[in-house]
Amino acid sequence: MANDYEDNDPESPTETFHDTIEGDEDDIIITPKAHDRESESIFGTELKKKKRNALTDLRTKLEHAMINKTLVKQKYKVNNNLKDIEIWGVPLLPSKGHERTDMILKKFLKAKDYNVQNALEMIGNMVMWREDYNVDKVVDEVFGSDLDNIGYIEGMDKAGHPLCYQLYEAFKDKEMLKRRLGSKESCEEFLRWRIRLMEGCVRKLDFRHDGADSVIQIIDVKNIPRQFLNEIFQGSKRYFSMLQENYPGLIYRFVIVNVPMWFFAFYTLNMRLMTRKYKVMYVKPSAVTETLLKFIEPQHLLAQYGGLGRVGGEFTYEDNVLEKRLKGYATDSIRIVTKEVGMTVYWDITVTGSEVSYKEEFVPEDEGSYNVLVQKGKQIGRMTSNSFHVNEPGKILISFANPTSRNRKVFYRYKLKPFQPMYSLPVKD
């Protein structure tokens, strides 16, 4: 196991970052003087040395505590197999020499400002909590199809952080509200479901030096019911507390989208206390797509937020996405040339802004043939998908009209696949 410990994350997980998206601010760059740079260099060297020493010390103390069964209280069953315990698929015992163990230990050290004893106690408390809460079994529990529709782990941002969505719009259904937040038991079950979602996120991480070691949670509060704010607040308070104590450094950022104006008053009184340990970005409804596309590629962003991401379909994350700029008060088009006959063309399109209208048609190469209208002109607000079977050479022509003064971006992808008649498809048993 390597002894070097350099923390390359420029942003501490304990840093609070609250931002309401209104527009970009100018960056202010201050160039330090020579003696300032020298002081910073000395400070940086000392800090790295402190971190390396802390990691070495934590390895030694953790090894001793696990072998001598002093890491957790004697009543816990996990005491019988402490040396073989794994956290998020990574062996915790330092002497096993697993390359990712150090990455786990660094997160606990950072959470406790590199106080080794406090980090050791935090690890022990986390191990006991996982047994008390039966976390290893939560991933296999069934909570109901209604919750399956409000939580997704799909895609990643440009830096490789997995994206986890929690969509609270479903709670506008009064029956679901009563079922999920109407009693102490139901609130506890909903909290447990959120922990299962978090465990699913962690399983997407590889904890390697150059890999993903934290996730982004996107929480959609559109149509969140005001009458159940207290229940939601109490549940979220416990949820954030569990994350801070048992998943240190595993949340890169919370992005709360579709935030109504009245929510900020609630945030001022309550949310700041809950999220003080995290970077939090608040995004108003009109800026959701524009903001998320700043750090998420279109193919990784869910279609309902203006991206091209979706579960299933003809496309994958690896399929190339093209971008076209649509100027204000302008019309423009995309051409997909189809020289081969007997092919089916598939395409996905999304536009930033809901005012743009579009029309899809097939234009044959033979001037004696007729154009085929695939889709009548209509406004495009979210991803639209379509396909067309090509019987003669030509092109798919997708025309756009922007009636506003603002420039828009068009993201699209397409592919051609040989047509396979239904009678030739294999029969399932």
Taking Cα atoms as reference points, which of 359, 367, 304 lies closest to residue 331?
359
DSSP state of 402: -
Q: Residue 259: pLDDT band by 50, 70, 90 thresholds?
A: confident
How far is the CA of 155 from the CAs of 163, 218, 274, 424, in angstroms?
6, 12, 27, 34
Read off the amino acid at residue 418.
P
Q: How confident is the model at residue 44 (pLDDT cuts 50, 70, 90)?
A: low
pLDDT tens column, 261-270: 877 777 666 6
Give 296-336 pLDDT, tens digit per residue: 999 999 999 999 987 667 898 889 999 999 999 999 999 99
pLDDT over threshold 70, residue 25? no
**pLDDT(12) > 50:** no
What is the rounded CA–CA span in Å between residue 379 and residue 381? 6
Q: What is the pLDDT of residues 140-191, one digit of tens each?
A: 888 887 887 888 899 999 999 999 999 988 877 777 877 777 778 888 888 9
Q: How far is CA 303 from CA 16, 152, 177, 289, 294, in A?
A: 29, 13, 26, 10, 15
pLDDT-derived band at 421, boundaries 50, 70, 90: low
What pLDDT is stored for residue 265 in this prediction? Answer: 72
pLDDT digits (tens, 9 = 90+) for 282-294: 899 989 999 999 9
Supply the mean pLDDT for the chain.
84
Q: What is the per-residue pLDDT for 40? A: 55
Asked if 212 and 162 touch (Cβ cutoff 8 Å), the reply is: yes
Residues 6+ apart with CB under 8 A from 428: none
pLDDT at residue 182 in the model = 72
CB contact at 8 A, 302 and 154 = yes
Domains of the chain: 8-22+41-296 (3.40.525.10), 322-419 (2.60.120.680)
Q: How far, in Å, CA of 176 to CA of 353, rounded?
A: 31
Q: Is the pLDDT of residue 54 over 50?
A: yes
134: left (phi over 0), alpha (psi -120 to 50) or beta: left
Instruction: Spell out the residues 6+ positions from residue 281 whose beta carbon is closer than 8 angstroms to its own.
Output: 17, 18, 19, 21, 253, 254, 255, 256, 291
Q: Tally helices (H) and strands (E) across the chain.
A: 11, 16
Neighbours of 275 (CB within 10 A): 20
What does the pLDDT read at residue 29?
33
b/e per residue 369-396 (b: at least 16 CB within 10 A) = eeeeebeeeeebeebbbeebebeeebbb
Strands 384-390 and 372-379: unpaired
Worst-scoring range by mean pLDDT, 109-113, 349-353, 422-426?
422-426
The confidence score (pLDDT) of residue 330 equals: 96
